[in-house]
Amino acid sequence: MAKFATFKDMFKWNKNLMEDDFNEGQLYTVKHKGTFGSFGDFETNVKVGEPDKGSHKLSTDHKISGDVSDFGGVKWEAKLKHDGSCEYKEELRFLQVSEASPNNHY
């Protein structure tokens, strides 16, 4: 009896394949994704360009993100690039869930 595999999100798979196939002059593109368990995720991309005058252009970028639910929660994301630039975003949600004590008189 034949066993069929299910493809849940074929559109996303085809989109990622097209983006990787059209690599804008890159010779090789390597992507690595992983998780830190419940703490967050990381993604690393390494691109090696076509040789230009005997040398290859190498670029890397890293993305680290997480969502911690303690004390209302913190959602954060950091992006690092090969040129030394860094971008960091953080969303603190503890004020959305905190309550004032009934004894406090403001």
How long is the chain? 106
Instruction: List, for residues 29-78, the tens digit of each pLDDT value.
Output: 888 899 888 788 999 988 888 777 888 888 899 999 998 887 778 899 99
Q: Are 96 and 86 in contact, with CB atoms under 8 Å apart?
A: no
Q: How far apart are CA 93 and CA 48, in angstroms?
A: 40
Instruction: State residue 70's pLDDT score.
Output: 78
The predicted model scores a pTM of 0.61
Q: Work out the number of other CB atoms within 10 angstroms of the CB of residue 21.
A: 8
H-type alpha helices, the chain: 10-21, 94-97
Give the start-end residues of each E strand in the chain: 26-35, 40-49, 58-68, 74-81, 86-92
